[in-house]
């Protein structure tokens, strides 16, 4: 099972479950899902299970990052202009 990136107002990573899953999160809450539901991970590392019908209604899949952003080896270096505090306040 592989993580994919999805978006709504926030970016999340999610995996569609191939089999039932039950787990306890860091706050001691139990989460469970069935095959077809999604395990969703937020940027803070927290995870929850979203039912398939709700997840697929809300989230839109994005292309893998390799297809969106160029690889680091092909990037053009960015030159940054250093501005002193006296120049910035002028």
**Residue scoring higher pLDDT (85 or 17):** 17
87 band by pLDDT with thresholds 50, 70 and 90 = low
Phi then psi dihedrals of residue 74, to 5 deg: -100, 0
Among residues 26, 7, 22, 18, the alpha carbon closest in space to that of 52 is found at 18
d(CA 19, CA 7): 24
pTM, entire model: 0.62
Tell me which DSSP letter residue 16 carries.
E
In the chain, what are the domain boundaries?
Answer: 1-63
d(CA 32, CA 28): 13
């Amino acid at each position: 099972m592989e993580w994919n990136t999805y978006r709504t107002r926030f970016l999340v990573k999610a995996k569609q479950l191939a089999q039932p899953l039950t787990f306890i999160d860091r706050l001691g809450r139990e989460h469970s899902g069935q095959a077809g539901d999604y395990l969703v991970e937020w940027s803070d590392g927290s995870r929850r299970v979203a039912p398939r019908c709700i997840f697929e209604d809300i989230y839109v899949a994005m292309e893998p990052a390799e297809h969106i952003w160029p690889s680091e080896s092909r990037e053009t270096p960015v030159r940054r202009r250093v501005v002193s505090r006296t120049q910035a306040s002028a």
